[in-house]
Structure 1
């Protein structure tokens, strides 16, 4: 009588489990990168929407507002935020000094967002890279983040 055992050995099962584990870790790593790129694309899009709303506000009032929430409902449906944190914004005089809308001289602005891609995002090629730190606390370095507490991020900043 022939006794044949059908099935897999323990080593064969361990090899298959190891291969599945390696493949799943590769897939998850590439998904994480895609998610970062997606969030960064949304941030750049939000900044562009805010720029348009700021220009509409300026056309009406001949100055820029003190806060981005002044744009809500009239110039933009909802002021976008980055995970419920407002984007960095300062209105300034033409010389780059701090101002308030009450003074009537806020003729420029600095607007920024921290991107997860640090320096590899294509948007960094066209951003302002404007360092006006003593006045508005937004740094301009693409690879260091928009504020000192944003290490590990890139700073995408625009101004008019």
Structure 2
């Protein structure tokens, strides 16, 4: 899951950069025609070359919201698991203080070995979802810019 979210976020960053450059070019040139968009889309291999830039941004916004939802769900599940393991770790430490058994001394170490990767994974999920929120805001700004450019014609 970690690789998937990192790869997806990188893909969206690249797409956003390309689309922001196109929107900048269109606003500087003052042209927003179907032919101008088609000339720019010729270099991009998409199934729907007839789509306007505005529709492309809207479609990507919807897709991004779905992906954010998936990753938010994953983040919630990992939060629950991480908190559960943290509570188990605390209980195991209390148990090891109370008891002198070898098992109770090893239990906190075993749980800690499992807890550390969970914390790391949750940390990555949390930060990547926060970055996806920033991407969503960039997409909204891009959509407004494209709509604003389109209205000028």
- TM superposition score normalised by structure 1: 0.32
Return the structure number with greater strand share.
1
Asked which structure has the greater RCO (Cα within 8 Å, sep 6+), the reply is 2
More helix by share: 2
TM-score, normalised to structure 2, is 0.33
